Chain A
Amino acid sequence: MGNSQTRIQRFRDMIEEIFSIVDEDITCGECFEHIDVYVDKLRSGEEPERVLPEVKTHLAQCDCCREEFEALITILEAETGQR
């Protein structure tokens, strides 16, 4: 029973992912190119989505880039001791 519960939830998550897709998106390469600027703004309290809204959209839709983005935040937190 627990197993089919998990499968149903995964199905629901995927349906939600499909319906919330934004049609226009950049590539992973373009995201990577701008992610350092994006992260600097985020960490300095600016709103990066004002200048780089396409990066924010891509991060919401691309698991791979989001994983790297979150890792970058962690690595930088270690640098400045903000952890």
Chain B
Amino acid sequence: MAERTNEQWVSALRQRGPERDQALEELRAVLERGLFFYLRGDRSDMRDRPDDEIRQMAQDFAQDALLRILDNLDSFRGESRFMTWAAKIATRVAISELRRLRWRNVSLDYLTAGGETLPSLSGLAVTPDTGPQPERQAEREEVLRIIDHAFAEVLTERQRLALTAYMVDGVNVEEIARRLGSNRNAVYKVVHDARVKLKHYLREQGLTLEYILDLFASM
């Protein structure tokens, strides 16, 4: 079967009747196949699920994606292949839902409560004094003190919470936004500004990447 051009895809999907139904089914099938490949092959969190469960998920995601694609058809500018554009939307639909499921029952109280329950970056690097280069323990403590100070005093509360969730707990930006009642773009900006601030502050304190990595060499 010859591949449809962008114009053919858009035109068919704007029709009514059998031509549209055929295009929809073609699109649905391609997306479902691609989503199945992705879920089955690329996601360790899906590894233990049976094939027919994965297939059902791929079907559901493809179906949701179709609705989103039809809703947004007018915004397709033809600068990319139609299938790439459509697959982009399907990817967003699938991954958003997978993220929601992944974090659904996870308590991240500190995002709304803050305070002492906050996991810390410096806490990861606390080593017993019998670790490598014990004579450099005082230097290590100083670096951790600087990092703690940066988190506590240089970042805003919002930056501290968002960056901690993102970097230390590995929470995705969408989920952080959901917990904070914000949106993905805004939260990414908060995370990004926080990282930029930290970078500049650490440099101002005379710290370099090489120095810190050397000081905290793997054991």
Contacts and interface: CB of A to CB of B under 8 A. Distances in A.
- Classify the interface of chain B: helix, strand, loop or mixed: helix
Contact of A79 (B33, B91, B216): B33
A47 interface: no
Contact of B184 (A10, A28, A35): A28
B37 A19 contact: no
A48 B184 CA distance: 24
A15 B144 CA distance: 11
Interface residues of A, number: 44
Interface residues of B, number: 51
A26 to B, nearest CB: 9
Which of A35, A68, A74: most chain B Cβ within 10 A? A74
Given A21-B196, A40-B80, A76-B87, A67 B95 contact: yes
Contacts of A20: 209
A11 B120 CA distance: 10
B188 A27 contact: yes
Contacts of A78: 33-34, 36-38
A67 B42 CA distance: 10
A60 interface: no
B184 A19 contact: no
Contact of B172 (A15, A35, A36, A63): A63
Nearest to A13: B167
B38 A74 contact: yes
A79 B166 CA distance: 33
8 contacts: A4-B127, A4-B128, A8-B216, A17-B195, A21-B195, A28-B184, A29-B185, A77-B37
Interface of A: 1, 4-5, 7-12, 14-21, 23, 25, 27-29, 32, 35-37, 39-40, 61-64, 67-68, 70-72, 74-79, 83
